[in-house]
Amino acid sequence: MLKQPAMGDRNMSRRLKASLFILLIVSSAAGSAVAQNDPLPSWNDGAPKKAIMDFVGRVTKDGGADFVPVEERIATFDNDGTLWNEQPMYVELAFTLQEVAKMAPNHPEWQTAQPFAAVLHHDMKAMAASGDEGMMKLFLATHSGMTEEQFEQTVSEWLAASQHPKFKRPYTECVYQPMLELLAYLRANGFKTYIVSGGEQGFMRPLTEKLYGVPPEQVIGTQFKSQYVMKTDAPVIERMAGVLSIDDGPGKPENIQRFIGRKPIAAFGNSDGDIQMLEWTGSNAKPNLELLVHHTDAGREYAYDRQSSMGKLDKGLTEAAEKHWVVVDMKADWKVVFPGPNAQN
């Protein structure tokens, strides 16, 4: 730090004064370099980056017409396909299928009962035929019947031992670098960043602090029922095989209201399951920003939208044009996709 000379000082040597003068120039140059630093270096210059930075500039400008007080700067992010990769299948589904295989020896009935038999015999057609209901059966069977702590440990161990089939890196490194910068940029500007995802809360929470800097109390997801039980030594919370709330589609604004109790001023998603969250945010009387990540990059990541079974973006793409939502063209707008030196950039 540069120490300013005291006002009344007249005996300072010329040499010292000269040094200080140079220091002042360097310091001032550094200061302006910091001010001009790009908070979103992995974003190409283009409409999405400009829209984000204009919005943040407006809502944080003290005394400006669009100023929003800090406590109302709520930003909500979908997770799968918005903050990290969701192809060829949701990370949580990959976990679920492996857990079914791991648990199968204790469940001989799964050899014939659907959708478990389909998973164990790699029968993709039967699995698809079981639909959302079948998927929920798989989730409930693998996500319940243990305490919260036990489940957290199972998830953490699986993540440490697994990797993405295409990118050959841990799933935890398949997060989107431009979105990490966006999270940090918003927080640096007083935003409280939340995850609002269809993923199950207990699956996401062991990850979100480390991956995204989002603490557990700012993670909203699909919730299963739970039960407080007093054991002989200590109480535990047991995960039950029942759905309390599905955090997808209309469930997203319902859960935002239930958990946060404020309407966001910014919302980020990538699929039709995010439409209602973006609509809800767009109905805020305060200035607001809605953004969809469009996966257009078959080389560095994946290209999919209206026909995809995971992260389908069909109605949302149509609605985005009508409602002036920002659409990120991943291939054109992102300089890099994943963080680190091994990124497929």
Residues that bind its own copies (CB under 8 A): 3-6, 8-13, 16, 71, 148, 192, 201, 205, 215-217, 219, 223, 226-228, 230, 234-235, 237, 244-245, 250-251, 253-254, 257-262, 276, 279-280, 283
Q: Which two tokens stand for residue 259?
A: 């958990």
E-assigned strand segments in the chain: 74-77, 192-200, 219-230, 235-245, 266-269, 289-294, 326-329
Strands 219-230 and 235-245: antiparallel
Angle formed at CA 334 by CA 206 and CA 89, multiple of 5 degrees: 45
Q: Give min distance, CB of 325 to its own copies, in A.
A: 15
- Cβ distance to its own copies smaller for residue 104 or 260: 260
Q: 52 vs 211, which CB is nearer to its own copies?
A: 211
**CA nearest 140: which of 54, 251, 72, 239?**
239
Please count the helices (runs of H) and the strands (runs of E) in the chain.
13, 7
- Say if residues 230 and 252 touch (Cβ distance below 8 Å): no
From the CB of 202, what's the least distance to its own copies, in Å?
Answer: 8
In whole angstroms, the minimum distance from the beta carbon of 279 to its own copies comes to: 5
> CA 137: distance to chain centroid?
25
List the structure tokens of 292. Answer: 């969809």
Which of 42, 85, 78, 89 is CA-nearest to residue 301?
85
Closer by beta carbon to its own copies, 95 or else 194: 194
Tell me the two tokens of residue 110.
């799964």
**Residue number, 130 or 284, with CB nearest to its own copies:** 284
Least spacing, CB of residue 306 vs its own copies, in Å:
21
Q: How far is the CB of 250 from its own copies (least distance, A)?
A: 4
Task: List the strands of the sheet with 219-230, edge to edge.
Answer: 235-245, 219-230, 192-200, 74-77, 266-269, 289-294, 326-329
Task: State the Cα–Cα distance between residues 345 and 301, nearest whole angstrom.
Answer: 9
How far is residue 274's CA from residue 268's CA, in Å, rounded to a whole number? Answer: 8
**Nearer to its own copies among residue 13 and residue 106 (C-beta):** 13
Give the residue with the Cβ less far from its own copies, 142 or 223.
Answer: 223
Cβ closest to its own copies, residue 290 vs residue 333? 290
Shortest Å distance, C-beta 264 to its own copies:
11
241-279 exposure pattern, b = at least 16 Cβ within 10 A, e = fewer: eeeebbbbbebbbebbeebbeebbbbbbbbbbbbbbbbb
Kindly tell me which of 263 and 295 has the beta carbon lying closer to its own copies.
263
The answer to whether residues 49 and 333 touch, using CB atoms and an 8 Å cutoff, is yes
CB of 187 to its own copies, least distance (A): 14
Whose Cβ is closer to its own copies: residue 149's or residue 314's? 149
Q: How far is the CB of 41 from its own copies (least distance, A)?
A: 28
Nearest distance, CB of residue 4 and its own copies, angstroms: 8
